[in-house]
């Protein structure tokens, strides 16, 4: 999102169960992900905030080890689907879910792509479930205004770049 006016500090709202100061993790498309301590040292809160207002979009409690390796963050173009590491959000419900061993790579309208336990997978907004991707399936990196899926995919030493038109009935 382009900035309007001079930069100004933003204080993030404190999500439920969070204590102490936030630990910003990453930002994507005007969304900031952060983690917070809780009263229980075995737990952390992972939250998503609007970068302009600091408002909490969604948050959930996760095992403390979840934040140790960082929280790679992705957001769909329309900011309806978010993932910070293994925490996924569909902003239609504003509910955050924890999916063990999930690592996001990209989000498009309707899906978040990534890996689960090292296997390529997709999280669907329609089902809010992770499913394994078919072997050899390419991940769309964006969808053009004309409806083309732009694919950049690496398999071994081979890099593929394509614009794929969806099938019509």
**Residues 127-166, buried b or exposed e (16+ Cβ, 10 A)?**
eeebeebeeeebbbbebeeeeebebebeeeeeeeeeeeee
Cβ atoms 100, 86 nearer than 8 A: yes
User: What pLDDT shows up at residue 3?
Assistant: 60
User: What pLDDT shows up at residue 65?
Assistant: 96
So what's the architecture of 19-136 in CATH? Answer: Beta Barrel (2.40)
Indicate the domain borders of the chain. Answer: 19-136, 138-169
- pLDDT beneath 70, residues of the chain: 1-4, 141-145, 152-156, 160, 166-169
Work out the percent of the chain whose per-residue pLDDT is above 70.
Answer: 85
User: What pLDDT shows up at residue 157?
Assistant: 74
pTM for the predicted model, two decimal places: 0.82
User: What pLDDT shows up at residue 103?
Assistant: 94
């Amino acid at each position: 999102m382009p900035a309007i006016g001079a930069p100004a500090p933003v204080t993030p709202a404190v999500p439920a169960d969070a204590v102490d100061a936030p630990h910003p993790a990453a930002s994507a498309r005007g969304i900031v992900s952060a983690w917070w301590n809780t009263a229980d040292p075995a737990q952390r809160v992972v939250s998503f905030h609007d970068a302009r207002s600091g408002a909490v979009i969604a948050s959930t409690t996760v095992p403390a080890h979840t934040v140790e390796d960082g929280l790679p963050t992705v957001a769909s173009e329309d900011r309806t689907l978010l993932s910070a590491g293994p925490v996924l959000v569909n902003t239609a419900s504003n509910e955050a879910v924890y999916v063990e061993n999930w690592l996001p790579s990209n989000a498009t309208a309707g899906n978040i792509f990534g890996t689960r336990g090292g296997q390529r997978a997709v999280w669907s907004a329609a089902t809010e479930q992770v499913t394994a991707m078919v072997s050899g399936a390419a991940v769309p990196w964006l969808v053009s205004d004309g409806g083309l899926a732009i694919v950049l995919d690496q398999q071994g030493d081979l890099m593929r770049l394509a614009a794929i038109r969806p099938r019509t009935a």
